[in-house]
Amino acid sequence: MMQDVFQLIARAQAEYVRCIDDGDLAGWPDFFVDECIYKVTTAENHKRGLEASLIYAASRGMLMDRVASLRDANIYERHAYRHLLGQPYIVSEDLDVVRSETSFMVVRIMRDGTKSLFVTGRYLDAYVRNGNSVRLRERVAVCDSSRIDTLLALPL
Amino acid sequence: MMQDVFQLIARAQAEYVRCIDDGDLAGWPDFFVDECIYKVTTAENHKRGLEASLIYAASRGMLMDRVASLRDANIYERHAYRHLLGQPYIVSEDLDVVRSETSFMVVRIMRDGTKSLFVTGRYLDAYVRNGNSVRLRERVAVCDSSRIDTLLALPL
Amino acid sequence: MMQDVFQLIARAQAEYVRCIDDGDLAGWPDFFVDECIYKVTTAENHKRGLEASLIYAASRGMLMDRVASLRDANIYERHAYRHLLGQPYIVSEDLDVVRSETSFMVVRIMRDGTKSLFVTGRYLDAYVRNGNSVRLRERVAVCDSSRIDTLLALPL
């Protein structure tokens, strides 16, 4: 039975953030298809159409490299995230591609137990649909604030 | 096909907050029917049954006036919001009116990039249903805290 | 008509947090079956498999006792919560038991109106399903931080 697209995307989002928040970063690239774009930018840059971005990866291989470098820098050890997402807004739905927008809020928990509101923003996503399974072809994370400590950041 | 009411309200909420958070305030009144109530109050006042409210509008025309005055005061420029909503709780469902309650949390992002937890609370909503489309006949935003900088606020 | 399990859990979660956030604590134990486990622990302890927990109750009767003691200590009066939950992630689904994980974020609002990000974490739940109604057989609230003022806490 073909699932409702709203449900499908909502579940995919829940699974995605669970992967990151549980610290299973090695599994993160699997939410993307091989030829994909993952980009973190600011609302300011996005609005002006500027190409500048804080993080940019143009393939699943680059995402795997990023995970490896975070592991080597022991980023895993230093902090954890807790993502809270809004309901996805379905922008368009073709036979095999679903475009959606979803608000996010991420709390960062440091090793000493302190926590802070790390970043808020919205995901601009393009999902490739294959039956009842979806994978990201593009995720642009547009952060509301331009003050983000991205160098040391886990994926959004 | 008639959509499930829970889905219908969840989608309407996602669309509503997207409108505000993306800065498209001119579109905000369109989420309401012509004869509507939009009210912002505090949990304290609401509990005691006090009529006093922080913001009160009794028609869609008044909502349009409010948008115009926010624009004239350049409120648009000064900050942005990021809403995160909980799942809607369906209180009652008649042939054409759906009552629901939904928790909200709003982060405010100032122009200089600083962000803060602006307000939390719950929406007490009455939606008029027309097939698979819904519009608000009443939204009472009950804020948990009584310390809110509402004069300069974008809509909740 | 049998409801979709994802919807069923999402609604149960919305109802649960509404009960606590609206201050109707007396109704809280009714979300659990008689022989149940309610536990609050930290991510650190959970990861290491330590049994130590911040709060532990092994029956619905113990939950009722807890509610009574919170009332006697006037905890009700001192503060309120606002829960925001993520989408539930369905871990497994048997004939009559559904296991799910759900992220949570709780803001605490003190009587003087100040609010703070109180705690984040995830619920590890086992729900007993009976037609379209579900009740908790087990809820383990795993808090991201170990710095929690739990003695005076309302339920998570």
Whose structure tokens read 């809403």? B83
* Residues A7-15, mean pLDDT to the nearest whole number: 92
Measured distance CA(B99)–CA(B23) in Å, rounded: 27
The pLDDT mean for chain A works out to 90
Q: What is the pLDDT of residue A64?
A: 96
Chain B, nearest residue to A116 by Cα = B116
Tell me what ipTM this predicted complex has.
0.89
Q: Is residue B148 part of a domain?
A: no
Q: Is C32 within 8 Å of C16 (Cβ atoms)?
A: no
pTM, entire model: 0.93
Q: What is the pLDDT of residue C44?
A: 87
- What is the band of B151 on the pLDDT scale with cuts at 50, 70, 90? low
Give me the DSSP letters along C62-112: HHHHHHHHHHHTTHHHHEEEEEEE---EEEEE-SSEEEEEEEEEEEEEETT
Percent of chain B with pLDDT over 90: 62
Q: Is residue C154 part of a domain?
A: no
Q: Is residue B83 part of a domain?
A: yes
- What is the band of B4 on the pLDDT scale with cuts at 50, 70, 90? confident
Q: What is the pLDDT of residue B98?
A: 96
Q: Is residue B153 part of a domain?
A: no
Count CB pairs under 8 A between chains A and B.
55
Q: Is residue A120 part of a domain?
A: yes
In this structure, which amino acid lies at residue C105? M
Does the pLDDT value for residue A151 go beyond 60?
no
- What is the band of B73 on the pLDDT scale with cuts at 50, 70, 90? confident
Range of the domain at C137: 2-143
Q: Is residue C153 part of a domain?
A: no
Is the Cβ of A21 closer than 8 Å to some Cβ of chain C? yes
- Tell me the chain A residues in contact with residue B105 when contact means C-beta distances shorter than 8 Å: 105
Q: Is residue A57 part of a domain?
A: yes
Q: Is A28 within 8 Å of A15 (Cβ atoms)?
A: no
The pLDDT mean for chain B works out to 90
Q: Is residue C128 part of a domain?
A: yes
What is the tally of structural domains in chain B? 1
Q: What are A55-77's pLDDT values in tens digits?
A: 899 999 999 999 998 888 877 77
Mark the ranges of chain C whose per-residue pLDDT is less than 50. Answer: none
Q: What is the pLDDT of residue B150?
A: 61
Q: Which of B81, B84, B105, B108 to mutate to test the interface with A (most CBs of A within 10 A)?
A: B84
Q: What are C46-73's pLDDT values in tens digits?
A: 988 887 788 899 999 999 999 998 888 8
Whose structure tokens read 């940019």? A56
- What is the band of B1 on the pLDDT scale with cuts at 50, 70, 90? low
* Residues B2-9, mean pLDDT to the nearest whole number: 83
Is the Cβ of C103 closer than 8 Å to some Cβ of chain A? yes
| Chains in contact with C via at least 3 Cβ–Cβ pairs below 8 Å | A, B
Question: How buried is C59 (Cβ within 10 angstroms: 0-12 exposed, 13-18 middle, 19+ buried)?
Answer: middle
Domain CATH code at residue B28: 3.10.450.50
Q: What are B107-145's pLDDT values in tens digits?
A: 999 888 888 899 999 999 999 999 889 999 999 999 998
Chain B, nearest residue to A85 by Cα = B84
Measured distance CA(B85)–CA(A88) in Å, rounded: 11
